[in-house]
């Protein structure tokens, strides 16, 4: 898994977020300290692959390991995780 870019408070919402619903981003777990929430979603680029999105609850810093996140772009996963 590549290192994803860290996104802080959003300044815009990616247009692709309008094409998705919160049900597509599934909560998986919290870390042991209860500070980071992890979500999964199906990849649109690779069949059978699951994307992982994490959000730090106190700072709202978000990490996404999808194709867009790895390229430093704000993705729909991050936008929906922050709802």
Q: What is the pLDDT of residues 10-43, one digit of tens each?
A: 444 667 777 888 888 999 999 999 999 999 998 8
Q: How many CB atoms sit inside 10 A of residue 69's CB?
A: 24
* Domain contains 69: yes
Which domain range does residue 20 map to?
6-81
Q: 73 Cβ partners below 8 Å, 6+ apart?
A: 5, 14
Give the start-end residues of each E strand in 1-83.
6-7, 26-30, 36-42, 50-56, 62-64
The β-bridge partners of 56 are 36
Number of domains in the chain: 1
- Residues 29-83 have pLDDT tens digits of 999 999 999 999 988 888 889 999 999 999 989 899 998 888 888 888 888 888 7
Evaluate whether residue 52 is within a structural domain. yes
Give me the residues paired with residue 38 across strands: 29, 54
28 occurs within a structural domain = yes
Structural domain includes residue 38 = yes
Note the pLDDT of residue 26.
93
1 belongs to a structural domain = no
Rg (CA), the chain: 12
């Amino acid at each position: 898994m590549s290192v994803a870019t860290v996104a802080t408070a959003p300044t815009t919402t990616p247009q692709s977020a309008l094409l998705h619903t919160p049900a597509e981003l599934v909560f998986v777990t919290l870390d042991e300290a209860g500070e980071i929430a992890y979500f999964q979603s199906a990849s649109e680029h690779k069949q059978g692959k699951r994307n992982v999105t994490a959000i730090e609850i106190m700072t709202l810093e978000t990490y996404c390991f999808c194709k867009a996140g790895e390229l430093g772009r704000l993705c729909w996963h991050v936008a929906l995780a922050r709802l």
